[in-house]
Amino acid sequence: MDRISVICAHIPGCRVFADIGCDHGYCTAYVLEKGLCERAYVSDISAACLKKAETLLAAEIAAGRCVPVCADGLDGVQDADCVLIAGMGGEEIVRILSRAPLPERFVLQPMHNVEKVRRHLLARGAHIEEDFTFEDGKFYDLIVGRAAGGDAYSDFEYRYGRDNLKSPSAAFLRKLRKEADVLREALAADVKREQREALLERLHESEAIIDAIEERL
């Protein structure tokens, strides 16, 4: 499945949906087409990016079912009960979430710094329902959850994602193997002692998880 399809398949039904950093607006088009919400916002900090969604969703906008917003993060979309933030760095996602109450439901697809996103959500009392790696040419992580309910993660779960450890997918195993190869290559190069120790520690951790997953297969 391609990245957009995986994201769309995990968007829950809601009253008001907001696609933050919508760019093309494909996810909102899906949500409206499937009747998953009563109305939607497409929001982007860049007017040029937002224009793409406005073009795609012109009919929905004209019908009043979709409202375009050119703003930073959640500014101007406070009544949304489900928020999607996909394709942005984890630090930017955390900055956006920090500036407002957590949305009732959220679907997040950080490009990196995923651990920071997990820690931010749980520190604010959120409950994570799904947290897994998938593959579409590259590896991506998807986090789906709710503002309320609370949750507790182990350090490993923060680092790797809970579903990846509980029910590892072939994509997650491929990601770990690839990361282990990269670490082995780095270790084969001429690196300083402290750096070598840190790389070795990460490699051993990856190898231990790979072995544990392979034993379960």
96 binds ligand SAM (CB under 6 A): yes
92 binds ligand SAM (CB under 6 A): yes
Task: Single out the residue of 29, 31, 40, 86 in contact with ligand SAM (rule: CB under 6 A).
Answer: 86
- Residue number, 16 or 20, with CB nearest to ligand SAM: 20
73 binds ligand SAM (CB under 6 A): yes
- Residue number, 8 or 183, with CB nearest to ligand SAM: 8
Near ligand SAM by CB under 6 A, which window of 16-24, 127-135, 148-156, 167-175?
16-24
87 binds ligand SAM (CB under 6 A): yes
CA distances from 62 to 16, 54, 65, 106, 144 (A): 17, 10, 8, 26, 30
- Shortest distance, CB of residue 200 to ligand SAM, whole angstroms? 34
Q: At 131, which amino acid appears?
A: D
Using CA atoms of 29, 21, 42, 163 in order, give the dihedral in degrees to the nearest 10: 50
CA distances from 57 to 31, 33, 157 (A): 11, 10, 38
Q: Which of 183, 159, 185, 184 is nearest to 172 (CA)?
A: 159
In the numeric block, the tokens 């942005």 are attached to 88
Tokens standing for residue 66: 């979709």
Task: Single out the residue of 6, 36, 45, 182 in contact with ligand SAM (rule: CB under 6 A).
Answer: 45
Q: For binding to ligand SAM (CB under 6 A), which residues are involved?
A: 20-23, 43-46, 49, 72-73, 86-88, 92, 96
